[in-house]
Amino acid sequence: MNNFNDFLLEAERSLIAADHMVYVSFPLIKDKRLLIKAIQEIKKSMFFLIRAILERENQNKKILTNGDLKLSFKNLKDSIAKKYNLSNNDLVLISEIFEISEFYKESSFEFIRGNKVVFLTEDLKPVSISIEKIKELIVFSKGLIKRVKEK
């Protein structure tokens, strides 16, 4: 996988999986693992979307790409966000998606309390994300993918 369309297709697939987990599977099963997996799928979708954008720019000889997520996101923010009509708010939400995923990776324990997934950090500080926020991130990601496809 090394072209714009392949990365964009993977971004869409990951987002479809996350959407199904949150809107169809979770209401039936009520298993926290579905929400956690949905968060990971949203992150994966954003990673592939960033890679798609950077691959397109690489093909046009505008920017060099590699597999490092942090460097890829920095390249996106610094040089080509405006070209793809990515606002500061869009970049903040993308960062938030990556941060939420990192909380999960670093957490020692997670559980559901009400309508929130709560992660406990190593120092037992709780970090939570609501189901509504996850849904908001899915809607945001769908819109972002659509805008990039249109570009």
Q: How many CB atoms lie within 10 A of CB 27?
A: 10
CATH of the domain spanning 4-150: 1.20.120
Q: Where are the domains of the chain?
A: 4-150
User: Which two three-digit tokens encode residue 53?
Assistant: 């954008």
Q: Over 60: is that where the pLDDT of 50 sits?
A: yes
Distance between CA 48 and CA 40 in Å, rounded? 12
Q: Which pLDDT belongs to residue 18?
A: 97
Q: pTM, whole model, 2 decimals? A: 0.87
Closest by alpha carbon to 130, among 147, 144, 115, 141? 115
Average pLDDT over residues 12-40: 93
Instruction: Examine the pLDDT at 21 and tell me if it is beyond 70.
Output: yes
- pLDDT band, very low/low/confident/very high, at 114 (cuts 50, 70, 90): confident
Work out the angle between the directed axes of helices 88-106 and 131-150 (0-180°, nearest 10).
130
Q: Which of 48-57, 60-69, 126-135 has the lowest average pLDDT?
A: 60-69
